[in-house]
Structure 1
């Protein structure tokens, strides 16, 4: 499989190593210093770039008829634009706020717990996410996915990272050196405290998941998620 890396930062370099170990070829390493030359050779594009260039990267690949895996967060206000383009071009697109197998299992656990806790009003839900100081978006895409699952299952209406209202899910955002990603969901009452947590040890799990998703999407058309890749649909 020939892969175009749209974004060649720390994640891009880990993805490159894992892809090469799995027998794939890198035909483009796109960053701010080069162009899309070589994109047309790719079987799939993997976008781990920056919010400011993600839409251009994804759109360019889709317009070339190349399926796209995107793990860039912070651009989702334009998600429907990409969705429409993908459908118009009969292309394939998969966005994941987190490609780690463990995190995607954690998503399922969080959804199930929120469903159970919805009727127990004495418990107040909140969250915490911790990442390295170079992460550009706050909160993380993973935290937003977790919060939205809680919102969909409970009487909460939104999430907030400061000055939360009664119907908000508060996300405590922390930036600390060299933390790949830690996400916690809390349910607190006067009598006890429930916590679920996922701790990433490194970027390997994210990168491996993105490569596995790239292998999976070849030959497919439509809009997908890691639920499809991991067959987690209920």
Structure 2
């Protein structure tokens, strides 16, 4: 498979190593603006760029008929536009706030626990996420996905960074040097606490999941998620 890397920072380099180890070829390493010719021959583009570049990267891929795997967070105010462009061009698209296989299982566990806890109003819900100091957005896209899973399955109506209202999920975001990503959800009651945590040890899991998603999307048309890739529906 021929892969174009959109964003060639730490994650882009890790994805390159993972893709090469799985016998794929990197045909473009792009860290700034690019022309259509740079990606036209790609079987898939993997976008781990920056929020301000993500939408233009993704839309350029659709116009060239290149399937897109996007792990860039902080641009989702234009996600619906990207979905519409994908459908207009009969493209293929997977966005995930986190491509780690373990995190996507954690997403499912979070929703399952939220369904069980949804009928127990005496428990307060809170969330904490910790990432490296270079992470540009807060809270993380992963934390937002987790909060949305809680909202779908409980009486909570929204989330807020730090101080939250009565029916909102408070998210504490910490930035600490050399932390790939830790997410914890806590249900606190008068008699006990229930807490689930996912801790990433390095970036390899994110890179592997993105490459597996690029392999899976070959020959497909439409908008998908990691639930489809991992058959977690």
Q: Into which bin does the TM-score normalised by the smaller protein fall? A: over 0.9
Q: Which residue of 1 aligns with 2:54?
A: 54
Q: Secondary structure at the match of 2:62?
A: helix
Find out whether 1:232 has 2:212 as its counterpart: no
**Runs of 4 or more consecutive aligned structure 1 residues displaced over 3 Å after TM superposition:** 33-37
TM-score, normalised to structure 2's length?
Answer: 0.98
Native 8 Å contact 1:28 1:37 kept in 2: no
| Deviations 1:28-59 (CA, angstroms, capped at 9, x unpaired) | 10102765542011010000000000000000
**Contact kept? 2:36, 2:64, Cα under 8 Å:** no
- 2:81 aligned residue: 81
Task: Return 157-166 or 31-40, whichever deviates more.
Answer: 31-40
Aligned to 2:90: 90
Structure 2, gaps ≥5 residues long:
none
- The correspondence of residues 1-234 of structure 1 with structure 2, limited to 5 A, is 1-32=1-32, 35=35, 37-233=37-233
TM-fit CA distance, 1:219 = 0.3
Are the equivalent residues in 2 in contact too, given 1:7–1:48 (CA < 8 A)?
yes
Q: Which region of structure 1 is more displaced relative to structure 2, 197-206 or 153-162?
A: 153-162
With normalisation by structure 1, the TM-score equals 0.98
- Structure 1: where are the runs of 5+ without partners? none
CA contact (8 A) 1:28 1:36 kept: no
Q: Does the residue aligned with 1:80 lie in a helix, a strand or coil?
A: helix
Q: Is the 8 A contact 1:30 1:36 kept in 2?
A: no
Query: In structure 2, what is the Cα distance between the partners aligned to 1:208 and 1:217?
Result: 14
Q: Secondary structure at the match of 1:142?
A: helix
Report which stretch shifted further, 59-68 or 30-39: 30-39
User: Which deviates further from its counterpart, 27-36 or 187-196?
Assistant: 27-36
Within 1, Cα distance between the matches of 2:102 and 2:32? 31
The secondary structure found in structure 1 opposite 2:186 is strand
Q: CA RMSD for the aligned pairs?
A: 0.9
